[in-house]
């Protein structure tokens, strides 16, 4: 397709050719700017510059045009050309109703025509999305009622978080914390990482390899043992993977687990000032129900998003993926700095680590945007209010959290995003085949059985 676009303001004539490249979303615009009209625009700029330019020996506005051109000609040409290209490119894109994703890449072209300056603009457009049918899509919805068993499991976890270990004069058993010296040898020679003194770990928690832990079980403080073992074939150290070694160990101390009683002291440790155990249980149950609800909703949302991606396969603009990769890398770097301090500031990151996640996020963003637009699923004020109030309940002073959100409207943007996702999830569930399945509490909460 070829057309001539004339801009009346800059008097720059541009010849435009639109081509689709091998990438389904990539487009090319070939631009030809008339040299004569560009020269006129440059002259106008130089005149404006000449009216205000200051130079020793000349009054303001009286600097000779030749000197102004010599000193400011390149700047005037650069600005005039950029503005002309941006203007006509914008008009060409608007005329063709193209939705540009990212920023066009402008490159000069070699031309034998002295009357024009040619450029090529290469860019991507947003994909056209035709929403797929969810009628035959099956979505598994996990359900779970918090009862006595879930409360007991949660209390057990809370007790274990506050466990202490007392010395015992007996053989080490599963669940005990032992302190040992050990020396590992391969072919009679100590190997790197195979030696430590006064090394503590809890038997059964998987801190050491199973064969190593089994060799410690049954030993008392002061006892020593030598044993052979073979590292797993998939062991993280390639030098040791699948290799037979010998360990010499000496048990220095054995301590058994002592769990706190569920009493007033335990309640106070959990923040109940008066030590009321009944009140503690009520607070735990309330918080547990809120957390279970949140996790169930998260599981459902993940399944809905997976279903939407499968039902709506789309090409994603590489420019948007690249920008999302940059955001993910920046977020990861900030998180690492918070966890590991400034020493992690320059941690070398690889862009490929984030490619799949970036593609997923961009794809979902485009699909959800179309679903929201077509089905009018925008967030409503009452929805946002409910989400804010619910999330604030987990804080000591919820009213302050609510005021903080509403103090500046932009703080509600994230909450509005949550409300929109909730609307999309509800919309998808109303169209798909939903199968309820009782969730396993320990799996849902990420706890070891």
Query: What's the CATH number where 32 sits?
Result: 3.30.70.1050
Of the three residues 241, 258, 275, the one that is the final residue of a domain is 258
**In a shared domain, residues 315 and 179:** no
What pLDDT does residue 22 have?
Answer: 52
Residue at token pair 């006595």:
148
Check which CATH number belongs to the domain holding 414 and give it: 1.10.3120.10
What pLDDT does residue 310 have?
Answer: 95
What pLDDT does residue 343 have?
Answer: 65
Antiparallel, parallel or unpaired: β 244-258 and 177-186: antiparallel
Check which CATH number belongs to the domain holding 213 and give it: 3.10.50.40
Secondary structure element (H or E) that encloses residue 30, with its range: strand 26-34
What pLDDT does residue 80 have?
Answer: 87
130 domain residue, yes or no: no
377 domain residue, yes or no: yes
**In a shared domain, residues 336 and 437:** yes
**In a shared domain, residues 168 and 271:** no
Segment 295-316 shows an average pLDDT of 95
pLDDT > 80? residue 6: no
The model's pTM is 0.74
- Could you tell me the residue range of the domain that residue 171 belongs to? 164-258
**In a shared domain, residues 238 and 274:** no
Digit-coded pLDDT (tens) for 411-441: 899 899 999 999 999 999 999 999 999 999 9
Burial of 128 (0-12, 13-18, 19+ CB in 10 A): exposed
**In a shared domain, residues 242 and 276:** no
Of the three residues 258, 287, 313, the one that is the final residue of a domain is 258
**In a shared domain, residues 117 and 247:** no
**In a shared domain, residues 224 and 367:** no
Q: Given pLDDT bands bounded at 50, 70 and 90, which one contains residue 8?
A: very low
Q: Given pLDDT bands bounded at 50, 70 and 90, which one contains residue 15?
A: very low
More confident residue, 94 or 7: 94
pLDDT > 90? residue 349: no
What pLDDT does residue 212 have?
Answer: 97
155 domain residue, yes or no: no
Of the three residues 221, 242, 258, the one that is the final residue of a domain is 258
- Number of domains composing the chain: 3
Listed residue (176, 150, 169, 5) closest to 88, CA to CA:
5
What pLDDT does residue 42 have?
Answer: 86
153 domain residue, yes or no: no
Question: What DSSP letter does each residue of 155-219 carry, written as one string?
Answer: HHHHHHHT-EEEE-SS---TT-EEEEEEEEEETTEEEEEEEEEEEEEETTSSSS-HHHHHHHTTP
398 domain residue, yes or no: yes
Range with top average pLDDT, 72-76, 293-297, 332-336: 293-297
133 domain residue, yes or no: no
What pLDDT does residue 449 have?
Answer: 52
Digit-coded pLDDT (tens) for 39-50: 888 888 888 888
Q: Which residues of 71-105 are buried (b: 16+ CB within 10 A; e: fewer)?
A: ebeeebbeebbebbbebbbeebbeeeebebbbebe
Percent of the chain with pLDDT over 90: 65
């Amino acid at each position: 397709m070829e057309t001539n676009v004339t801009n009346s303001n800059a008097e720059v004539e541009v010849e435009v050719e639109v081509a689709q490249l091998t990438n389904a979303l990539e487009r090319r615009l070939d631009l030809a700017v008339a040299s004569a009209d560009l020269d006129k625009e440059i002259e106008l700029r130089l005149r404006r510059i000449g009216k205000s330019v200051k130079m020793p020996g000349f009054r303001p506005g009286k600097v000779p045009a030749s000197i102004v051109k010599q000193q400011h000609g390149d700047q005037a040409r650069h600005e005039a050309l950029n503005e002309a290209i941006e203007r006509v490119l914008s008009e060409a894109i608007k005329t063709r109703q193209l939705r540009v994703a990212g920023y066009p890449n402008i490159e000069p072209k070699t031309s034998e025509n002295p009357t024009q300056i040619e450029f090529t603009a290469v860019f991507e457009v947003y994909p056209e999305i035709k929403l797929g049918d969810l009628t035959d899509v099956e979505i598994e919805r996990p359900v779970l009622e918090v009862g006595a068993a879930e409360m007991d499991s949660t209390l057990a976890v809370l007790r274990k978080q506050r466990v202490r270990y007392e010395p015992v004069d007996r053989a080490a058993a599963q669940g005990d914390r032992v302190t040992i010296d050990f020396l590992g040898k391969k072919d009679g020679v100590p190997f790197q990482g195979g030696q430590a003194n006064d090394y503590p770990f809890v038997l059964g928690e998987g801190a050491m390899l199973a064969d190593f832990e089994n060799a410690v079980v049954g030993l008392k403080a002061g006892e020593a043992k030598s044993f052979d073992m073979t590292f797993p074939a998939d062991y993280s150290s390639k030098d040791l993977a699948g290799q037979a070694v010998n360990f010499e160990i000496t048990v220095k101390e054995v301590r058994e687990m002592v769990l706190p009683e569920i009493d007033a002291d335990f309640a106070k440790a959990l923040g109940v000032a008066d030590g009321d155990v009944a009140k503690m249980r009520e607070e735990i149950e309330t918080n547990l129900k809120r957390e279970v609800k949140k996790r169930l909703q998260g599981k459902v949302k993940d399944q809905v998003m997976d279903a939407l991606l499968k039902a709506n396969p789309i090409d994603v603009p590489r420019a948007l993926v690249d920008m999302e990769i940059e955001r993910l890398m920046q977020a990861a770097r900030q998180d690492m700095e918070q966890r590991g301090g400034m020493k992690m500031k320059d941690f070398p990151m690889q862009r490929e680590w984030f490619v799949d996640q970036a593609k997923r996020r961009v794809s979902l963003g485009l699909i959800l945007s179309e679903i929201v637009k077509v089905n009018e699923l925008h967030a409503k004020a009452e929805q946002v209010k409910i989400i804010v109030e619910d999330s604030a309940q987990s804080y000591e002073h919820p009213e302050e959290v609510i005021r903080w959100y509403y103090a500046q409207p932009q703080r509600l943007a994230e909450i509005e995003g949550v409300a929109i996702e909730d609307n999309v999830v509800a919309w998808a569930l109303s169209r798909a085949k939903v199968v309820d399945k009782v969730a396993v509490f320990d799996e849902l909460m990420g706890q070891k059985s």
